Structure 1
């Protein structure tokens, strides 16, 4: 029996080795590879554009523009409350670890416009929220690029008090990228469980209220985007600090589920629609950091984004919000969903990883701003409530994150699927050899 198993395993080993050799063939040798197929095609559910158009316009126009825009001084800094006072369950030690302290910026590093009506938050080392992961810490280093404050108002869709500067701190997003932090386990699962089960459960088949579907799809799409970024920038080897892609994670969490990919594209188009709808407001906003050259660049890039002829020709109406909140139940539905989204926003204070909390709060505020724009505008498409600086920064950074995720899915979905299919036999081979070794050990112990 052992002889048969070993023969089978060796035959399988040769097949697997042949497949792996073909896949990792030298790039310099002649190779005729099949053309990568477009996996996702057709109209994106509940939207007015198709996958092919979105992938094309995102790669050609949106992604390059947004990547350049969020690197400018105005969009680089985000004001955030990083303290962890979870309103839903008692503190269980996740915010009391001492070995992941964050270096606070001395006040003299903040430009003068930052200091107006602003007092940097005092973060005690007793309340570090990184769960022992150094890569989860937020780097609070800032430089002299700054922007002047806009009128500060609270977003009706989110929980944080944006006018309460006492607990706020400024963070440079460029040196705190959204990527793998090591945050996992029961604490992370509890957050997502609370989000989905209590605030936006998946809609049942035949759901007649599209508004309920919209909230679930927005959160699912954001979740997919976060997972893609974690997989795209993953800590492969902690000792050598080697970062790279984790295709298996991207596949297991997102790419193998067509509905999650659909929801990612849906969320991207939803946020894009809000930016296009606020075009006049964004075009005339003041992007002032004290650096005239950079400020002119920010203003120019925003204008190129909101008035792009290629985008308007390819996808003039990414999402049609006019069909929502109709009928007698419309106002009540809006109030219910607004409260559910506020609860999701409040859950960000329960995230036990400082850098995860930073990006969670930014992207939830970005989504809340998109909701605020789409569902509170006047007849001239002007927001009936003014947008504050932090909302605009969150909105455009969120759109950039979603754009990056869509680009990664478009470019890597088929390749990752092929890699996973090739790697799986190798793991099966390993299990066969483990079984053989186990049988041999059992045989030896019985003689």
Structure 2
């Protein structure tokens, strides 16, 4: 087993672009959401598409946030044009980013009892205590609870006679997505891709397993890697939401100064400002 320090290998621009990268995302969408946005799709399958799209948007945001601006001087910074072209120009992608964030946040808060008691063994007693403290701060953050008392209501999902079948199908699709990620030619991209797909799968596992009130369903059991993936995914999504919220309403003006014709083809300023006015969404900061 190989251990990787994620702080030394941040999610950022790697140079992995072009046909190879596009084929990966094309395969993920075509093999798992081939009929979207057909009206024939049930609500659960639309949720799957939104989760994949939201994750895709978040990854694009992090690439734009930490981008190699000048290779000759090794200058890194924010690429706002890329942020606009890949995410902000498409209101649905922004909405799906927020949706995925709330979905994962709901899973974390719903599994609060389990996550509080989970073993966080880093090999360093001081780090263990710090980790346990940070987890409790997240799970029982009063500001977060008041702002998002119920971030996502999954009560109506996976119900009825087709519920068990839909659960199995979605779990199978996430295994397929993880397998597709194995084909990514960039090692760091593959690392972050598989980690976050595992995080999404863990969020689904929690919502499948835990009855928030009575705990009558099967008891929740998570592996160490699943807990790590879940918290890292929530971090990535919250950082993406924060960056989009901070930059979204002003990026169009910057792009307009650089290339007026580009903005005319995209979302209107009014629509963008409406999208970024989500005061009910709370960003979780990680120091």
Q: TM-score, normalised by structure 2?
A: 0.86
2:136 to 293, 303, 306: 303
| 1:87-121 per-position Cα deviation (integer Å, ceiling 9, x unaligned) | xxxxxxxxxxxxxxxxxxxxxxxxxxxxxxxxxxx
Distance 1:280 1:194, change over 3 A: same
| 1:137-183 per-position Cα deviation (integer Å, ceiling 9, x unaligned) | xxxxxxxxxxxxxxxxxxxxxxxxxxxxxxx3100000000000010
How far the C-alpha of 1:374 sits from its partner, in A, is 0.6
Checking the alignment, whether the CA contact within 8 Å between 2:54 and 2:99 is kept in structure 1 is: yes
2:100 to 237, 258, 267: 267
Partners in 1 of 2:180 and 2:162 — Cα distance? 27
Partners in 1 of 2:70 and 2:93 — Cα distance? 28
**Residue of structure 2 equivalent to 1:57:** none
Distance 1:200 1:208, change over 3 A: closer
1:192 to 25, 31, 40: 25
**Residue of structure 2 equivalent to 1:395:** 230
Q: Report the 3-state secondary structure (helix = DSSP H, G, I; strand = E; otherwise coil) of the residue aligned with 2:15.
A: coil
1:406 to 228, 234, 241: 241
Give the aligned length.
Answer: 260
**Residue of structure 2 equivalent to 1:17:** none
How far the C-alpha of 1:380 sits from its partner, in A, is 2.5
**Residue of structure 2 equivalent to 1:210:** 43
1:322 to 131, 149, 155: 155
| 1:317-350 per-position Cα deviation (integer Å, ceiling 9, x unaligned) | 1111111112222222222222122111111110
Query: Which fold has the larger relative contact order, with Cα–Cα distance below 8 Å and residues 6 or more apart in sequence?
Result: 1
More helix by share: 2
Distance 1:303 1:414, change over 3 A: same
Distance 1:208 1:188, change over 3 A: closer
Checking the alignment, whether the CA contact within 8 Å between 1:211 and 1:325 is kept in structure 2 is: yes
Distance 1:207 1:314, change over 3 A: farther
| 1:327-385 per-position Cα deviation (integer Å, ceiling 9, x unaligned) | 22222222222212211111111001000000001001111110111102253388724
Q: Report the 3-state secondary structure (helix = DSSP H, G, I; strand = E; otherwise coil) of the residue aligned with 1:261.
A: helix
How far the C-alpha of 1:208 sits from its partner, in A, is 5.7
Distance 1:169 1:204, change over 3 A: same
| Superposition map of 1:136-285 within 5 A | 168-201=1-34, 203-207=36-40, 209-285=42-118
Q: Report the 3-state secondary structure (helix = DSSP H, G, I; strand = E; otherwise coil) of the residue aligned with 2:155.
A: helix
Structure 2 unpaired stretches of 5+:
263-287
Distance 1:308 1:408, change over 3 A: same
Distance 1:316 1:426, change over 3 A: closer
Partners in 1 of 2:206 and 2:46 — Cα distance? 19
How far the C-alpha of 1:265 sits from its partner, in A, is 0.2
**Residue of structure 1 equivalent to 2:250:** 415
Distance 1:414 1:290, change over 3 A: same
1:384 to 219, 236, 242: 219
Partners in 2 of 1:257 and 1:393 — Cα distance? 31
**Residue of structure 2 equivalent to 1:161:** none
Partners in 2 of 1:204 and 1:401 — Cα distance? 26
Would you say 1:344 and 2:177 are equivalent positions? yes
Partners in 2 of 1:352 and 1:345 — Cα distance? 14
How far the C-alpha of 1:190 sits from its partner, in A, is 0.9
